[in-house]
Amino acid sequence: MQQASVWLMMFATGLLAALLAASFYWAVQEARRSRQAGGSTLLAGSQLSTIRIWAALLERFSQVERLRHLISQAGVPWTVGRTTLIMLFGGASVGLFLTNTSLFSPWVRWLLTLLAGSCPLFYLRAARARRFRLFAEQFPEALDSLARALKAGYPLAHAIEMLAMEQPEPLASEMRRTRDEWKLGIPWDQALDNLAGRIPLPEVTLFSAAVKLQNRFGGRLNDVLARLGETMREHAALEGEVRSISAHSRLTGTVLSAVPAVIALLLFWVNPGQMALLLQHPAGRAMLGGAIVAIAAAHFVIRRMVQIRL
């Protein structure tokens, strides 16, 4: 009976992996056909899924729009359908594997299954944070280039088009999208508000407000953008100094969180029989789960304490 369950689990895992590979291949082929057709950047990510049945099912959920917005901010070539399929297949595979093991209690299996299914969301959030950080690093130089172009007599549309062609990613793609929105008839105020919505950074909000004020009341926009770029550089230098000061505390928190795991691995290597009792006895598994939760909570508390908001 146990051997049959193992074979069933292997078959289900292989089937899920095959379906996931097929969905990836289908999505890649659809993306290639879309690029060859010359689709606009404004339509990127508008399709929920290349599988019509799955797309129709996703349209019934209100959280789909938030996931679409997260994917757009992360700048990854994913669709909502592909992301949800990865989450379902990953969680189902891990859940099937843990169902036939007796090392963990049921609530730990559910927790690990949820974590496996949530890995794509964690990746998207990390990609979004990395993209925002790169944009913030590139934005002061872009403001200086924009101010020089305006001072030389170029109109705002041509200056932003120069940024879209000359600046690196991710700033170039965002400026290109803002330019495309303006070319399609969207006013500058709305296009800049859309930019601030896609990149929710204070610097982008200030840039949008400065351009909108100049469009309404006039003024020397190049001087405002030059001062804004200088202020952003000073803020980045101050933030780097603060991070260097708090690096010792962050490193201490990381080491304290990793020490129990290292000690547990060493004990398993030195005396695996004695440490196996911790996993076989229900009280030992409960103690191990409580220790993991406590260590994770302490790690996040330490990270929160050393985080300094400017």
Q: Is residue 108 part of a domain?
A: no
Pick the last residue of a domain from 223, 244, 265.
Answer: 244
Per-residue model confidence (pLDDT) at position 72: 86
Give yes or no: residues 223 and 297 share one domain. no
Residues 200 and 255 in one domain: no
CA distance 83 to 72: 12
Are 271 and 258 contained in the same domain? Answer: yes
Helix (H, G, I), strand (E, B) or coil at 3: helix
Cα dist from 243 to 73, 165, 220, 231, whole Å = 25, 33, 35, 18
Are 184 and 220 in a shared domain?
A: yes
CB 289 within 8 A of CB 108: yes
Q: Are 161 and 257 contained in the same domain?
A: no
- Whether 143 is in a domain gets the answer yes
> What is the chain's percent helix, strand, coil content, to nearest 5?
85, 0, 15
Q: Are residues 252 and 238 both part of a single domain?
A: no
Domain encompassing residue 187: 132-244
Residue 12, pLDDT score: 56
Residues 66 and 161 in one domain: no
Give the number of domains in the chain.
3
Same domain, 218 and 261: no
Answer with the one of 84, 103, 122 that is the final residue of a domain: 103
Residue 116 domain-assigned (yes or no): no
In tens digits, the chain (310 residues) has pLDDT values of 445 555 555 555 555 555 555 555 555 555 555 444 444 455 445 566 666 776 777 777 777 888 888 888 888 888 888 888 888 888 888 888 877 776 667 777 788 888 888 899 999 999 999 999 899 889 998 888 888 888 888 888 888 888 888 888 889 889 999 888 888 888 888 999 999 888 998 888 988 888 888 878 777 888 888 888 888 888 888 877 877 877 777 788 888 888 888 888 888 888 877 777 777 777 887 888 788 888 888 888 887 877 766 5
In this structure, the answer to whether residues 78 and 145 fall within a common structural domain is no
pLDDT of 230: 87
Same domain as 181, residue 137 = yes
CB 58 within 8 A of CB 80: yes
Whether residue 128 contacts residue 74, with contact meaning beta carbons closer than 8 Å, is answered with yes
Query: Any residues with CB less than 8 A from the CB of 9 and at least 6 apart, and which?
Result: 96, 97, 99, 100
CATH label of the domain that carries residue 169: 1.20.81
Is residue 85 assigned to a domain?
yes
Do both 66 and 165 map to the same domain? no
Structural domain ending residue among the three candidates 195, 224, 244: 244
Cis bond before residue 170 (omega within 30° of 0): yes
